[in-house]
DNA sequence: TCCCAGGCTCTCT
DNA sequence: AGAGAGCATGGG
């Protein structure tokens, strides 16, 4: 892997195990869109990015060295050796799924944005999740280059259910408010959850009204860097049954969350 | 039209 | 402690 900074862009060469499409379109983030083949734009927290993948080249437009090394490198988890993770898989079917989804990386997203987004995701479909999050940002975020930032918990904590009716988020609005208030009042310290055990962090998240095991595990995995969290949604439960007979001991392992994304992507793309 | 969506809470056994 | 209804809304 080689990183070059030039013309205010960041160019990455010889980067293994990365597909921008698989990573941004596998259901872990909801604010990315493909403009044309291989060219994506989107937001992370209060930052806008245009990123393109060509043959053996990834370009982050208008990203200088400082922005790359302090933010995007970690956001895309470029430093982690996913090839090694895949090589260590012994279960043959899991290896098949991993090979199929080998371009997926687990994004290091902002904890609050992740929490709020996955509260919205429950009993919902992805196009509508994206729509609700778009309205959340355009109504309550800050105007930034190209769009709107994700609103802070402090901002949302001041609002009431009536204010949130513009989101058309249904029964989830009351859950958003409870999460915003608990985070804004520091009843739940999201940053601290990164450094405590996965079990303890999950129990903290479960204190939020509207957060159950699945949403908590998504926040642990996509926003708090707990890669051993294994979110079980309807797709995963079905895939575990059909691919592994309902039992897979790897769901308890160090990189269970990475495996989960491979299985999820494999199941969805292959329509099993 | 009808079914269902990366679930969760509440209630009833 | 396990099962089932209800939840808001709208995409397909």
pLDDT in tens, A138-167: 999 999 988 999 999 999 999 999 999 999
Percentage of residues in chain A with pLDDT exceeding 70?
Answer: 99
Q: How does the average pLDDT of chain A come out, rounded?
A: 96
pLDDT tens for each residue of A67-92: 999 999 999 999 999 999 999 999 99
A206 pLDDT more than 90: yes
- Alpha helices, DSSP H, located in A101-197: 111-121, 126-140, 153-157, 173-184, 190-193
| E strand residue ranges, A120-243 | 143-144, 147-148
As ranges, strand B nucleotides with an atom below 7 A of a protein CB are 4-9
For A15, list phi and psi in degrees, rounded to 5. -95, 115
pLDDT tens for each residue of A51-66: 999 999 999 999 999 9
Question: Computed over its alpha carbons, how large is the radius of gyration of chain A?
Answer: 18
Query: Is A214 part of the annotated catalytic residue set?
Result: yes
Say yes or no: Cβ of A165 under 7 A from any atom of strand C: yes
User: Whose CB is within 7 A of strand B?
Assistant: A 26-28, 121-126, 128-129, 171, 209-216, 218, 231, 233-236, 260-261, 264
List the single protein residue with the shortest CA to C1' distance from C9.
Answer: A170
The confidence band for A45, taking pLDDT boundaries of 50, 70 and 90, is confident
């Amino acid at each position: 892997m080689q990183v070059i900074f030039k013309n205010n862009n960041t160019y990455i060469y010889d980067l293994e195990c990365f597909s921008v499409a698989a990573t941004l379109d596998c259901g872990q983030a909801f604010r990315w869109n493909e403009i044309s083949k291989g060219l994506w734009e989107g937001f992370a927290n209060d930052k806008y990015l245009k990123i393109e993948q060509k043959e053996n080249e990834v370009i982050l437009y208008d990203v200088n060295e400082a922005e790359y090394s302090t933010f995007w490198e970690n956001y895309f988890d470029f430093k982690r050796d996913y090839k090694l993770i895949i090589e260590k898989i012994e279960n043959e079917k899991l290896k098949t799924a991993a090979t199929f989804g080998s371009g997926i990386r687990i994004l290091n997203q902002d904890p609050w944005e992740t929490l709020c987004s996955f509260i919205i995701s429950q009993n919902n479909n992805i196009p509508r999740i994206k729509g609700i999050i778009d309205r959340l940002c355009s109504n309550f975020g800050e105007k930034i280059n190209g769009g709107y930032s994700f609103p802070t918990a402090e901002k949302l904590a001041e609002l009431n259910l009536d204010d949130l009716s513009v989101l058309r988020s249904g029964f989830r609005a009351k859950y958003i408010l409870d999460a915003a208030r608990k985070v804004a009042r520091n009843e739940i310290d999201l940053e601290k959850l990164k450094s405590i055990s996965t079990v303890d962090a999950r129990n903290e998240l479960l204190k939020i009204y509207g957060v159950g095991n699945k949403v908590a595990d998504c926040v642990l995995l996509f926003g708090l860097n707990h890669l051993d969290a294994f979110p079980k949604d309807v797709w995963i439960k079905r895939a575990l049954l059909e691919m592994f007979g309902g039992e897979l001991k790897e769901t308890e392992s160090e990189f269970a969350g990475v495996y989960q994304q491979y299985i999820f992507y494999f199941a969805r793309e292959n329509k099993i």
